[in-house]
Amino acid sequence: MKVAVGCDHAGFPLKDVVIESVRALGHEVLDVGTYNTDAVDFPDFTKKVGGKIQSGEAERGILICGSGIGAAIAANKMKGVFASICHDTYSAAQGVEHDAMNVLCMGGRVIGPELVKVLVPAFLNARYRGDDPGGERLARRVGKIKRMEENQ
């Protein structure tokens, strides 16, 4: 799977850990920046990750800003991007399985590298269950979200 990874200056200290975690699972990383701790605006890198999802260049994305909140808000403004901040493994997996989440957002000033090492696998090893037998209620709910997106 191709995974787009982006961050702002506050998320940069965790970016290498994220990239190493993605690669350790056998996935390809599309690093869209930033590449140092010089101050930048998180929406710019959110747009780059979301754009990779929208174009189909990446199947999933990972964003790191200071809290994870700004990146999640910005990412969810992009059509076809289902993003959430997750600082626990249950949410990182369940967001994919039940809600078709395709972008994981994390706070570089909130969590440390050891938590990243378990969050990334939880997110990337999960798969959407709405297409499974018995997954109709999940698919119905995700369909309602997509219709909300279309009606904006």
CATH number of the domain at 96, please.
3.40.1400.10
What's the rounded Cα separation, in Å, for the pair 149 and 14? 31
Q: How many domains does the chain have?
A: 1
pTM for this prediction: 0.97
Given a contact cutoff of 8 angstroms between Cβ atoms, the answer to whether 20 and 77 are in contact is no
Task: Report the catalytic residues.
Answer: 65, 98
Average pLDDT of adjacent 10-residue blocks, the chain of 152 residues: 98 98 98 98 98 98 98 98 98 98 98 98 98 94 93 78
The two structure tokens encoding residue 88: 């626990």
Place of tokens 């991007």: 81
Average pLDDT in the chain: 97
Identify the domain containing residue 72 by its residue range: 2-150
Residue 24 CA from chain centroid, whole number: 17
- Give the tens place of pLDDT for each residue, 51-81: 999 999 999 999 999 999 999 999 999 999 9
